[in-house]
Amino acid sequence: MDHAADAHRTDLMTITRFVLNEQSKYPESRGDFTILLNHIVLGCKFVCSAVNKAGLAKLIGLAGETNVQGEEQKKLDVLSNEVFIKALVSSGRTCILVSEEDEEATFVEQPKRGRYCVVFDPLDGSSNIDCGVSIGTIFGIYMVNDSHEPTLDDVLQPGKNMLAAGYCMYGSSCTLVLSTGEGVNGFTLDPSLGEFILTHPDIKIPKKGKIYSVNEGNAKNWDGPTAKYVEKCKFPKDGSSSKSLRYIGSMVADVHRTLLYGGIFLYPADKKSPNGKLRVLYEVFPMSFLMEQAGGQAFTGKQRALDLVPNKIHERSPIFLGSYDDVEEIKALYAAEEKKE
Ligand code: FDP
């Protein structure tokens, strides 16, 4: 992208304009998806503003147990959840909502009920909030089978059935990355306009990367293929250079870097957590959807991640995602292990 030319751009592609353009390709479309997305965008803007103020509020003494009015201050993840639930219900376009923060799914009552199911983690990476490290919101969208009789099965679908997925990263800038199944596009919030502007059109992940991203503190509990893969990243035997390690510990930030720079992000199974840590519906699926749409791959250690059929809304799965060639290598190691067994 030509950043100098960009600075003088007057024809701004906002996220709403972008989605409306996409929508116009489908004459039968009623605009419901655009309305839903507008409500998600509103939630992201609100959380972005709350995250930005969090440090300041603490410094000026507003973020204690009670605020100046004597009311209890809400923790950011609880607040973000409330904001998204309210924004999604009030869109009038949702039917079932699954949030990382809520044990049970929310079934939207008539007359506010619509056709979309949204699975989301309102504030992922929340252990990073207090030190100002990038965190984010992750979401995936399914279509309900029958909006008159929604059931949990409508959200217990494989990730490949998602209509759209995305994340918003609250970092040095606020970036929303979205795929509606036709590639991946990134939008950056222009705070002066309050609008997300298309800044990263048609993101493609490099075919092979130079970075691996994993919590190596868990290495003593890894299985053979994961241990071998990470060993190969550090001590390649084919004469290639070692990969660099980058691990923020905030999935949105680690995946965002992987998407833009290439490489691999791993949260494998280990002896202590045989299903890994990350949640299928609102972490593994949306990120795998984006990776595939950008030309990369996502693998669970057993299968293509998007083929997984979850049994429970908060189910976990190991995940290896990123550049096509890098994921191909870990797939080969798991295939070799399976042959041995
Ligand atoms: P967090 O616990 O801070 O909410 O699933 C949540 C998550 O962060 C991911 O964002 C992140 O990738 C992962 O957990 C980090 O886990 P470890 O601390 O075990 O590395």
- pLDDT per residue over 273-292, tens digit each? 999 999 999 999 999 999 99
**Mutation to probe ligand 1, out of 120, 124, 280 (largest number of atoms < 8 A from CB):** 124
Task: Check whether 338 has a pLDDT greater than 70.
Answer: yes
258: Cβ below 6 Å to ligand 1?
no
Task: Check whether 97 has a pLDDT greater than 60.
Answer: yes
- Per-residue pLDDT at 66: 47
Domain boundaries in the chain?
A: 15-200, 211-339
Average pLDDT over residues 126-144: 91
- Class in CATH terms, 211-339: alpha beta
Confidence bin at 69 (pLDDT 50/70/90): very low
CATH T-level topology, domain 15-200: Fructose-1,6-Bisphosphatase; Chain A, domain 1 (3.30.540)
Residues 290 and 165: beta-carbon distance below 8 Å: yes
Cα(251) to ligand 1 centroid in Å equals: 6
Closest by alpha carbon to 245, among 263, 268, 224, 272? 263
Per the listing, tokens 């990355």 go with 177
Cα 299 from Cα 328, distance rounded (Å): 9
The answer to which of 15-24, 55-64, 74-83, 167-176 has the lowest mean pLDDT is 55-64
Q: Which residue has the higher pLDDT, 286 or 26?
A: 286
Task: Check whether 65 has a pLDDT greater than 60.
Answer: no
What is the radius of gyration, based on Cα positions, of the chain? 20
Q: What is the DSSP letter of 101?
A: T
Q: What is the DSSP letter of 248?
A: -
Task: Check whether 211 has a pLDDT greater than 90.
Answer: yes
- Burial per residue of 110-146, b for 16 or more beta-carbon CB atoms within 10 angstroms, e otherwise: eeebbbbbbbbbbbbbbebbeeeebbbbbbbbbbbee
- Per-residue pLDDT at 299: 98
Cα(217) to ligand 1 centroid in Å equals: 13
Ligand 1 atom nearest the C-alpha of 249 is 15
Omega prior to 206 cis, within 30 of 0:
no
Task: Check whether 171 has a pLDDT greater than 70.
Answer: yes
Confidence bin at 55 (pLDDT 50/70/90): low
250: Cβ below 6 Å to ligand 1?
yes
Q: The pTM is what?
A: 0.93
Confidence bin at 341 (pLDDT 50/70/90): confident
- Per-residue pLDDT at 70: 46
